[in-house]
Copies of this chain bind each other. A is one copy, B any other.
Amino acid sequence: MIAWLTKVRSKPSRMAVGLMSGTSADGVDACLCEISGYGPDTKARVVHLASVDYPEHVRNLLTHRIGKLDVEEVARLNFLIAEVFAKAALKCIEEASFHVSDIDFIASHGQTLAHFPEADHELLPVRATLQVSDISVIAQITGLVTVGDFRPADMAQGGQGAPLVPFADSVLFRDERLGRIVQNIGGIANLTYLPPGCRPEEVIAFDTGPGNMVVDAVVDRLTKGRQSMDTDGRLAFSGTVNRPLLRHLMSHEYFNKRPPKSTGREAFGVQYARKVVDEYRQFTGASGEPWDPGVHLRDIVATVSELTVQSMVAAYRTWILPRGPIDEVILGGGGAHNGYFVARLKQELLELNPSVKLLTHGDFGISDKAKEALAFAILGNQFIGGMANNIPSATGAARPVVMGKLALPW
């Protein structure tokens, strides 16, 4: 292990595969990348991206039964998902015409099965997070040293174990003169704010609220599963925002909570979407009528799409602008391709700063799909260097820590 570490650590650049599966639980993204340096001197370049879908029954478990999984399902998923992660890594390496022997390490986020940043369980009053996709299994299948399971170390130091991507954002997007927001719109929307020339402790990062999650859930519910998302924001564009309902939704306690803060499916998942539909019926006085979802679909989608936009803008106004300038907003995530989000966000941003630029990760040579997997490769690179890889101001941890665990392939 020492010989390996000594060799890999001091190479001019390392070839790594970052592995990520988000809360949407579609499958695994594998990003082959070249990384040089450590800490603020890190440089990273995406070489290739590959994806592997989860088998359908796994995706079903992860989306519809995730809160009800039993201990046997957790144990088996930890191994089965690791096989999918390993397959994605090997596929990515092969597609890029590399050999396993060219690769220095794998860094894996794993698949989140549970995340409880509060000690609010009666019998087990402790904070916890659970990512599966066993790194020993990945290491043994791929033959590569594997770093992963980053969140628990931060949580053990009082942090939320999230968000973790801001560390990579600070490495990839920090600018000496510009204040930048890196705005990711996945199921949940989250931002990293990098003040001009910021030090790590000046980085601000938190979940702004729902991204695509509520929109997707509403579309799925009201089309009875015939549609799963609002492609390009077409439904939202064609609908009318219900302002009273929007105001009500914006009064959700999460939006007023002081950062650092994070949220997820528990707060803005299927249950929440169901409640929004019910509330829409009350707000429009439609609760007594026979209910034709098709008629109201567009307006509900417009309203929850606007909720995503408004919750981001409110966050900029309340928590970012008092701390520094917003010169550029760099969009990422699936929601960066939702025309409604982009158009409305641009309108709102121009009111905050008429010279603001709205960019995408693509403008920096990083595809949206590659971003998170790349981020975990960067966290893994820090682990290999024995250097901290959390942002305490974002997670709330008491101090910088070297997050992650290491498994050997030998």
CA distance A314 to B188 in the complex (A): 63
Residue A267 CB within 8 A of the other chain = no
Contact code string A134-166 (vs B, CB < 8 Å = 1, else 0): 111101110000000100110111000000000
Most buried by B among A57, A58, A136, A401: A136
Residues of A within 8 A of B (CB-CB), count: 66
Interface set, chain A 1-20, CB cutoff 8 A to B: 1-6, 9
Chain A 71-97 interface 0/1 with B at a Cβ cutoff of 8 Å (1 = within) = 111111111101100000000000000
Task: Please name the residue on chain B nearest to A157 by beta carbon.
Answer: B140
A52 at the interface (CB under 8 A from B): no
Selected from B5, B72, B113, B156, the residue in CB contact (under 8 A) with A5 is B5
Name the one of B139, B149, B152 contacting A79, with C-beta atoms under 8 angstroms. B152
- Measured CB to CB, the closest approach of chain B to A110, in angstroms, equals 12
Given A2-B2, A114-B72, A116-B72, A155-B121 contact (CB < 8 Å) = no
A137 to B124, Cβ gap below 8 A? no
Contacts of A388 in B (CB 8 A): 410
A76 touches B139 (CB 8 A): no
Which residues of chain B have C-beta atoms less than 8 A from A221's C-beta? none
**Contact at A75–B408, with CB atoms within 8 Å?**
no
6 new A-B contacts at CB < 8 Å, known A78-B128, A137-B152: A61-B123, A134-B156, A140-B157, A140-B401, A141-B156, A405-B406
